[in-house]
A = this chain, B = another copy of it.
Amino acid sequence: MARSKSPGNGGTKDVWTTELTSIEPNRILIRGYAIDELMGRIHFGEAIYLLLTGDLPTPSMGKLVEAMLISFIDHGATPPSTLAARNAATTGATIRGSVAAGVLAFGRHYGGDVLMCRQVLDDGLALARSGKSLSECATEIADQLIAHGDIPPPGFGHRYHTIDPRATRLLQIAHELEVDHEYTQFLRALELVLSRHPALGGRSLPINIDGAIAAVCGDIGLPPEVADTLLIISRVPGLAAHSLEEQRREPPMRAIDPRAHAYDGPSERRLGERRK
């Protein structure tokens, strides 16, 4: 290591450190693993987990993280982030500039549910540690959310979907892999309480993908800010694909009406048997 502390300046000139990646001539280690050994032997989703957490996931964990990353990869033309990216792309801006514009259109109201739902779950589980049942705690938390006007609560309900197929599938995978622990259990307890709560009058508030991601990340021990970061990483391919499509298929400088669009891709098709 070249620069140690330069003595004569009162220690103000520290060497700072990173534990992510070591770069030496002709040798790159990601969290200790040679990058050329990782290439071809692990999956990209596993490499993301390794980089963010410091360790390779177990095969189960890896499968779960990849399912999570896929679950949020794109949501069509209507999210504001997609429209921000397309509005940049239509001016002839670069794809990277368009992607960055899209990343900037995640805020408290879009994507923010992952962090906020995690907080709700942490609050509920803190209550549960005092000896109450999950169901009692869920009722208490639901009452608080309703009293604060937080309806729909973070992690529940969706603008388009009455049942979010991504949430259902993610929770199913977590169950199959036996990693659905207290966060998932509390999320389900809260869903049940909400579905019966007199103040909501039978309004349907199913678990959405943000809620499922918040709970699953809690159960596999990812800090909230890592879960939030996974969400952004997962959507970047979608933002890029929309930016490319905008520049390929549409005239420049068009007025992009988020309500006047249709889908003209392939009809529904099934994965072949070979995929598993």
Interface code A9-28, partner B: CB below 8 Å = 1, 0 otherwise? 00001111111111111111
Residue pair A237, B48 in contact (C-beta under 8 Å): yes
Number of copies of chain A assembled together: 4
Residue pair A3, B275 in contact (C-beta under 8 Å): no
The verdict on A166 contacting chain B, using a C-beta distance below 8 Å, is: yes
Residue pair B19, A245 in contact (C-beta under 8 Å): yes
Query: Contact check: which of B13, B173, B264 meets A1 at CB < 8 Å?
Result: B264
Residue pair A253, B103 in contact (C-beta under 8 Å): no
Interface centre among A14, A93, A107 (most CB of B within 10 A): A93
Query: Contact check: which of B22, B90, B264 meets A76 at CB < 8 Å?
Result: B22
Query: Contact check: which of B36, B93, B109, B268 meets A92 at CB < 8 Å?
Result: B109
| Chain A binding surface SS class | mixed
**A179 partner residues in chain B, CB cutoff 8 A:** none
Residue pair A26, B162 in contact (C-beta under 8 Å): yes
Residue pair A18, B76 in contact (C-beta under 8 Å): yes
Residue pair A88, B84 in contact (C-beta under 8 Å): yes
Residue pair A1, B35 in contact (C-beta under 8 Å): no
**A63 partner residues in chain B, CB cutoff 8 A:** 40
Residue pair B107, A92 in contact (C-beta under 8 Å): yes
**Shortest beta-carbon distance, A93 to chain B, in Å?**
4
The verdict on A257 contacting chain B, using a C-beta distance below 8 Å, is: yes
Stretch from A134-142, A143-151, A187-195, A226-234 forming part of the interface with B: A226-234
**Shortest beta-carbon distance, A276 to chain B, in Å?**
6
Chain A interface (Cβ within 8 Å of chain B)?
1-4, 6, 13-45, 47-48, 51-52, 54, 56, 59, 63, 66-67, 69-71, 73-78, 80-81, 83-84, 87-101, 103-112, 159-166, 168-170, 173, 225-226, 228-229, 232-234, 236-238, 240-242, 244-245, 249-250, 252-271, 274-276
Residue pair B240, A25 in contact (C-beta under 8 Å): no
Of the A-B pairs whose beta carbons lie under 8 Å apart in the complex, a sample of 16, sorted by A's number, is A13-B260, A20-B242, A22-B76, A29-B265, A32-B265, A39-B170, A40-B173, A44-B48, A54-B265, A83-B87, A91-B106, A92-B107, A92-B108, A96-B97, A97-B97, A255-B259
List 9 extra interface pairs beyond A21-B75, A40-B169, CB under 8 A: A13-B257, A13-B260, A18-B264, A19-B245, A21-B74, A28-B75, A56-B271, A97-B107, A98-B104
